[in-house]
Amino acid sequence: MAGAQRIRTLFALFFALAGSRAIAAYGDQVGTFNGVIAYSNGSATYNSGSHNTVNGYTTGLKWQCVEYVRRYYFVAYGLQIGAGMNADGFYGNGWGLTKAANGGSTPPVPGAILCSNSNTNGHIAIVREVGPNYIKVIQQNWSENSDDNAHQFSMTVSNGTYRVNQAGSYSWQGWLMPPNSGGTASTIAWTDVPQDGRWYRSDERLVYHVDGDRPNTVRELIDGNNTATYDTSDGYIRLSYGPTGWHFYETAAQNAASGGNYAYTGRWNGGWDPDPPTATRSGGAEPNVWYQTSTSVSFSCADALSGIRYCHYKWDDGAYSEWARVDNGTVPLLPGKHHLYVEAEDNSFTGSNELGNRSTVDLGEFWLDTTAGSVNVSARLVSTGTATQVELTVTNPNPSPLNNVGVDLVQFGFAKSSELPWTINDLGGGATVKKTFSFSTGFGSNKSMLISANYHLGSVQRRIRTRVARL
């Protein structure tokens, strides 16, 4: 293909059709179809003056559009067509192949030759894929980059007719059907799939089978996007072939006898959720903090994909609560120190079994002491003489710590200690502290004396009295 009009057209199409892809150097591979490689001509105006040969057969001038079509038909079908002819003469000659006019009732099929006699020398390409409203072709000397591997042209399908729409200044005469366009068209069906409309934690397989004359081109699609293409009659799609989440899966099959149309399995809808749910403390009591009044802790369970089926709890190594079809709960604390475990299950399945992802989360150790509110204080005589010493003992009988404990007065007889106040800010659970107080007075003629002490726990004031005998 040559000429000023062709040059202008290609320059206009480079940006519209090839996007931002760079022009490949002359002789670089730009694509392949059924093992037949397409090469870049480097420029629409370049004439290499060199001819290509395959097994002694001259396929044409490197790397023009005609050369690829002739080489493809020689390799794929063993046919020698198009000798000495430009692209604009291909459809008119036909070379013994069946002609299908653009806009007629015969759709293009893979392997067909798309033909145009527009501009100076026309253009031809090999159809490699036919969709519901497009075709894709492999070609040489068009975009001169990887776009030539599967360049897409739009197609209008209406009332049983098929028209490949004009591309720039190129309109299409029609297509020459490949020699094996007869036979049995492809059909495809699911043969073994799990129940649809469910979430699965297991990597399920969706098995399909294709009937019809080989070769069959099979496309595997997820959410309508082609993820793989095979020449096969049996296969499967795994849920893991797509990302986690809810999707629809489908396969499509086509062969030359399908008239370029794909047969579809129909959509299988389902979700893949391999990850376990989570459980978190959502409010109330905090772990590792003593509480002296009855309180509760709240938790919530969540699963970002399939949601929560069950959520329940247990304390320490005890039994779980009955399953609750909720995603949250509030639990009263137990006296003492106890670990709270929450188990959650999501809405996924394993095959036909209702057994979803499960997770068990230790929300921490929670402490409750409702008996806290008392402190034990005792006094004893430790020495006498001209001076008297009294030992005061303060004990926390509770498992939880006590705050703001103090002794405000210690009295021996009528004598008051000057070593006060005695402040005990925090007294741990079960802890004991002692302090000795000295008095300058003794028993005198008394055989016994009264020791008294005033102490407080928070804002609550208390008093003890004990009578001691001379040592």
Smallest CA-to-CA distance from 137 within 118, 119, 121, 155 is with 155
Tokens 């297991």 correspond to what residue? 202
| pLDDT at residue number 182 | 59
| pLDDT at residue number 95 | 87
Is pTM beyond 0.85 here? Answer: no
- Judge whether 232 and 216 are in contact, CB under 8 Å: yes
Task: Give per-10-residue mean pLDDT for the chain (471 aa).
Answer: 38 42 92 92 92 94 96 87 92 91 92 94 94 94 94 94 95 90 79 94 95 81 87 89 95 72 88 96 95 93 94 94 83 95 94 86 94 87 83 92 90 92 89 94 87 88 91 75
**258 is written with which tokens?**
């399908």
- Judge whether 178 and 250 are in contact, CB under 8 Å: no
Helix (H) / strand (E) element for 219: namely: strand 217-222
State how far the Cα of 270 lies from the Cα of 267, in Å rounded to an integer. 10
Residues 6+ apart with CB under 8 A from 24: 30, 40, 42, 144, 145, 146
Beta strands (DSSP E) in 43-87 are 51-54, 57-61
| pLDDT at residue number 324 | 74
Beta bridge partners of 364: 340
State the burial class of residue 325 (Cβ atoms within 10 Å of its Cβ: 0-12, 13-18, 19+).
exposed
Smallest CA-to-CA distance from 358 within 314, 316, 315, 301 is with 301
Domains of the chain in sequence order: 4-176 (3.90.1720.10), 187-272 (2.60.40.10), 278-368 (2.60.40.10), 376-469 (2.60.40.10)
| pLDDT at residue number 261 | 65
DSSP string for residues in 83-130: TT--GGGHHHHGGGSPEEETTSSS---TT-EEEE--TTT-EEEEEEEE
Pairing status of strand 134-138 against strand 151-158: antiparallel
Count of helices and strands (H, E) across the chain? 3, 36
| pLDDT at residue number 212 | 84
Smallest CA-to-CA distance from 320 within 339, 342, 336, 300 is with 342
Smallest CA-to-CA distance from 427 within 457, 396, 406, 458 is with 396
Exposure string of 199-224, with b = 16+ CB inside 10 Å and e = fewer, is bbbbebebebbbebeebbbbbbbbee
**450 is written with which tokens?**
């009264």
